[in-house]
């Protein structure tokens, strides 16, 4: 129960960070700021995941929880000393009905803007991303030393995500719509080679390359949502987006476990590449997305 509560509360930080960021960073620096935030998450996740195995063999579980508790004090104290100026009505009591109303308002804000064209493909990608998460252990079994290969796959995905987060700053002067389009197309094409390789080294390289594309497009998505949404609605929109995407992932995992019972692993893996290519083509045919040249804030954001 404690772990469930802790995980639930930690999930709140993501929409909060995405809401606060455009209020303290100029629009022209949003991609760089999101890149830095993503890098810090991915680098620290990779670092501490690597250290976790060593720590588990060195300390007892109780000691690890004590260390974890102490480490959480540092960001807590840091936030306590930060000062934010909040403009708007502050309610002392926030009911579930108000939360439901805010989610509905967030949904309406999305449905009336270009965000609705961006969100649906994002849901589909995360759905099949969850399918992949279930399929990775099965895919690893197609190579020797399945356990090691599975670890290498997760490592390759992490490395690719970090490289993508770093490299997105190199593409800031390029048409934002084209970055999304070619990001999906290149990722999908590379991914479709995975079922045809018998070399673990080649497969890991493909995972790195596709994850670079994923890292870039994810930051572009976050920056677009922050830019295209008025500040007054940003918290509601972020909560709505995160809620819908989060719901898609467990459903995707269940679907992945179901289809792996009767479909070939190579076919299951291919779905993600095919979907990515289709999304790239859909975006390419949409002039509104194709002509997204830069991050331009809405009137309420300026």
pLDDT digits (tens), the chain, 302 positions = 666 566 666 666 666 666 677 777 776 777 777 777 776 766 666 666 656 656 666 777 777 777 777 877 887 787 777 665 555 555 556 566 776 777 677 777 777 778 888 888 888 998 999 999 899 999 999 988 887 888 888 888 888 888 888 888 787 777 888 889 999 999 999 999 999 998 999 999 999 999 999 988 888 888 887 777 777 777 777 777 777 887 888 899 999 999 998 899 999 999 999 999 999 999 999 888 888 776 554 444 44
Length of the chain: 302
* CA distance readout (Å), 61 to 10, 51, 56, 58, 71: 21, 14, 7, 10, 15
pLDDT the model gives residue 175: 82
| Torsion angle (degrees, nearest 10) of CA 261, 266, 269, 270 | -130
CA 8/CA 16 separation, integer angstroms = 14
CA nearest 67: which of 57, 55, 81, 54? 55
pLDDT the model gives residue 2: 65
pLDDT the model gives residue 290: 84
pLDDT the model gives residue 210: 95
CA 197/CA 175 separation, integer angstroms = 33
């Amino acid at each position: 129960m404690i772990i469930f509560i802790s995980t639930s509360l930690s999930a709140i930080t993501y929409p909060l960070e995405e809401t606060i960021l455009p209020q303290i960073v100029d629009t022209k620096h949003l991609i760089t700021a999101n890149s830095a935030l993503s890098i810090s998450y991915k680098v620290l996740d990779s670092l501490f995941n690597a250290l976790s195995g060593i720590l588990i063999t060195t300390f007892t579980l109780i000691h690890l929880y004590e260390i974890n508790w102490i480490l959480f004090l540092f960001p807590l104290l840091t936030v306590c000393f930060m000062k934010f100026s909040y403009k708007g009505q502050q309610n002392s009591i926030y009911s579930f009905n108000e939360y439901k109303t805010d989610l509905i308002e967030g949904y309406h804000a999305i449905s009336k803007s270009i965000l609705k064209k961006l969100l649906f493909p994002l849901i589909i990608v995360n759905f099949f991303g969850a399918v992949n998460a279930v399929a990775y252990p099965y895919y690893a079994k197609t190579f020797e030393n399945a356990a090691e290969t599975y670890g290498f796959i997760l490592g390759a995905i992490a490395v690719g995500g970090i490289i993508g987060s770093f490299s997105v700053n190199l593409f800031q002067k390029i048409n934002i719509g084209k970055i999304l389009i070619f990001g999906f197309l290149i990722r999908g094409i590379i991914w479709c080679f995975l079922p045809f390789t018998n070399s673990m080294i080649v497969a890991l390289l493909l995972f790195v390359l596709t994850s670079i594309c994923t890292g870039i497009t994810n930051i572009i998505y976050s920056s677009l949502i922050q830019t295209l949404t008025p500040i007054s609605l940003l918290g509601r929109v972020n909560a709505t987006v995160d809620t819908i995407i989060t719901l898609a992932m467990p459903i995707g995992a269940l679907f992945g476990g179901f289809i792996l019972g009767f479909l070939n692993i190579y076919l299951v893996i291919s779905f993600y590449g095919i979907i990515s290519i289709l999304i790239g083509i859909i975006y390419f045919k949409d002039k509104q997305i194709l002509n997204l040249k830069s991050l331009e804030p809405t009137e309420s954001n300026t």
